[in-house]
Chain A
Amino acid sequence: MMKQPQVIGAVLALIGFAAFTGVIRAEGDNSIESIEKYREALRDGNPAELYEAQGEELWKKKAGPKNASLEACDLGLGAGVTAGAYAQMPRYFKDTDRVQDAESRLLTCMSTLQGIDTAKYVAAAWASPEKDELNALVTFISGESKGVKVTMALDHPKTKVMYELGKRMFYYQGGTHDFSCASCHAQEGMRIRLQELPYLPSQKGAGVAWTSWPAYRVSAGQMWGMQWRLADCFRQQRFPEPIYASDVTVALSTYLAATAAGATMDTPGIKR
């Protein structure tokens, strides 16, 4: 039988606990509001705009052995058409007979139009002048689709294959920790510290993710395209580093973009 002081102690403890959790909840709400305010402040004056401008310059600059610009590059909507092209990628291209994302397509155009040997660009490290060029170019291309709805043509058999491959890769567990993309991105309400992890199998979650990359990452002061974003996910999953613009990366983007269809591009974005 509990003695009087013990009962009082227990009741006080209960009240204290209730008050404590109440305070935590209130503070939590304020935190989210503060962070939203912080993110809002960053959007006005996104350093990605500097990369967009650089990318546009590179697009128009004559380069390579053929001394040509990229202005005749076909991103799917016709030679040189950049407006709205990113919002329809990845897509199937007849001239290369494969499904390509924006970065893969940039390599194709650099090779065919400019005569550049792109092997160097593929092998270069992420923070190298070669990758800087590609990141600037893809930032520019993505900016040309800002405000445009994602629409994916999934009718071509090769696109269907890539979609299924991407989906399978998303759930594929491997590496030293048996991680898959799904480990972080296939449950609602997940986050790492203060970073929300969108639920990617849904249109809403995929929409949030696909429409905000390429993005300027404030913490690193770097401009990341989707290739870099995927490669970094692989790194965090303890997977081997994927080859730049390889099929597996295009497949994952195909799955993501197709799932996001209908969402509006808000690129280039800005992230912490």
Chain B
Amino acid sequence: MQYGTLNRRALLIRSTATAIAAAIGSMVPTRFAFAAWNKAAFEAKTMADAYKGLGAAQAAESGDIQILASDIAENGAVVPLQAVSKIPGTTQISFLVEKNPNMLAALFDIGPDLLPDVTTRIKMGQTSNIIVLVKAGDKYFTATKEIKVTLGGCGG
């Protein structure tokens, strides 16, 4: 009986502590200096949610998006990735990593003064498909490329 009470109390304390920790956790990171960061898209844990966050309703596969990257990345911590869109009127290019816990890695707004040709380096936790999502007008297009990772890049 005594043991039972102790267990319940311990559980209560632990669950309260967890709740507080969770509340604190949700407050971090603190404010952003701008409101534009697409939280919904960047914190999405499924492709569908990432697309939704980006406002991409339906995306059609397109052969006019070039993904320039090595088939094998020696280390997943740094994977160079370049995308060139030949679709006229491209206004946005996004990089998504299918097997990363948060799929959206980066998005680029292609203004009138920019060529639709962007490069960055991303972290890949494991071998995965890379999806480049292009917005042109109000339509969305995708291209996919698998990149093999010999050493995952997200661990400590």
Contact = CB atoms under 8 A, between A and B. Distances in A.
Chain A in direct contact with chain B (Cβ < 8 angstroms): yes
B80 A194 contact: no
A215 to B, nearest CB: 13
Interface stretch (A37-45, A58-66, A201-209): A37-45
Contacts, number: 37
Interface string B10-38: 00000000000000000000000000000
Interface in B61-112: 69-75, 77-78, 80
A272 B75 contact: yes
B77 A35 contact: no
A31 interface: yes
A218 interface: yes
Interface in A216-272: 218-219, 221, 272
B47 interface: no
A219 B70 contact: no
Specify the main secondary structure of chain B where it touches its partner.
loop
B77 A42 contact: no
B44 interface: no
A67 interface: no
B77 A194 contact: no
Contact of A41 (B75, B77, B80, B153): B80
B151 interface: yes
A30 interface: yes
B75 A218 contact: yes
A38 B77 contact: no
Contacts of B71: 30, 34, 37
B120 to A, nearest CB: 10
Contact of B72 (A38, A218, A219): A38
B150 interface: yes
B78 A42 contact: yes
Contacts of A193: 150-151
A31 B80 contact: no
A224 B78 CA distance: 17
Interface of A: 30-31, 34-35, 37-39, 41-42, 193-194, 218-219, 221, 272
Interface of B: 69-75, 77-78, 80, 150-151, 153
